């Protein structure tokens, strides 16, 4: 239920896991060595592919469990009393795209699996584009929630 202790825990776990996914995802690109972030004391791990890859996969498991839980909760219980805004649908869709493309990329990294170059490029582009779109959508959401700037939109 909305505002129940469980939903508050879910909210904070969700924020934490998304932060891990963004940082470990950017670590795969890889940009932390190039832009000297990894040279900051204590940040060398951000340039270690195996650490960021393991973090990304571990975060993915938690994210998928959370996403499935929230989706089922919404469609079975919350939908009767709460309406998802258009922006909420956009964020859900982007997260869904990230999960589906991420899972397919994960499978394609398994030994003996090869999807073909075009499919891999398309999957990677979907994953990266949704990453930046979700980041933008979440920043707009955070700014709106904080009340720093009043944004009026048709969407919600
Ligand atoms: C909020 C969620 C997520 C974000 C922001 C995110 C972000 C990213 C980014 C930025 C990359 C680097 C792409 C590149 O180098 O071109 C990446 C790679 C990857 N992501 Fe995600 N990701 C998310 C969720 C997932 C999920 C749920 C999975 C499922 C297992 C996943 C699996 C992967 C894999 C396997 C790669 C490496 C692809 C390769 O072989 O280069 N991601 N992710």
Instruction: Please report the pLDDT score of residue 82 as a whole number.
Output: 87
Instruction: Please report the pLDDT score of residue 35 as a whole number.
Output: 95
Instruction: Please report the pLDDT score of residue 156 as a whole number.
Output: 52
pTM (global) more than 0.85: yes
> How is residue 26 written in tokens?
């950017």
Hey, which of 22, 23, 25 would you mutate to test ligand 1's pocket, going by the most ligand atoms within 8 Å of its Cβ? 25
Give yes or no for residue 53 CB within 6 A of ligand 1: no
Instruction: Please report the pLDDT score of residue 48 as a whole number.
Output: 96
Q: Which residue has the tokens 């996914």?
A: 21
Q: Give pLDDT tens digits for 34-43.
A: 999 999 999 9
Give yes or no for residue 141 CB within 6 A of ligand 1: no
Give yes or no for residue 94 CB within 6 A of ligand 1: no
Neighbours of 48 (CB within 10 A): 16
Q: Which atom of ligand 1 is nearest to the CA of 106?
A: 35
CB of 13 within 8 A of CB of 59?
A: no
Q: Which residues of the chain have pLDDT under 50?
A: none
Residues 6+ apart with CB under 8 A from 106: 57, 60
Give yes or no for residue 63 CB within 6 A of ligand 1: yes
CB of 101 within 8 A of CB of 129?
A: no
């Amino acid at each position: 239920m909305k505002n129940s202790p469980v939903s508050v825990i879910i909210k904070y776990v969700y924020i934490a896991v998304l932060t891990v996914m963004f940082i470990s995802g950017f670590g795969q690109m890889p940009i932390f060595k190039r832009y000297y972030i990894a040279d900051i004391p204590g940040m060398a791990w951000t340039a270690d592919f195996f650490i960021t890859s393991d973090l990304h996969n571990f975060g993915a498991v938690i994210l998928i469990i959370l996403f499935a839980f929230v989706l089922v909760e919404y469609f079975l219980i919350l939908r009767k009393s709460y309406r998802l805004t258009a922006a909420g649908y956009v964020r859900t869709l982007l997260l869904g795209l990230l999960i589906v493309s991420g899972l397919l990329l994960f499978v394609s990294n398994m030994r003996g699996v090869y999807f073909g170059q075009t499919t891999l490029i398309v999957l990677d582009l979907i994953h990266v584009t949704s990453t930046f779109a979700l980041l933008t959508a979440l920043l707009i959401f955070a700014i709106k929630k904080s009340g720093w700037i009043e944004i009026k939109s048709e969407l919600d």
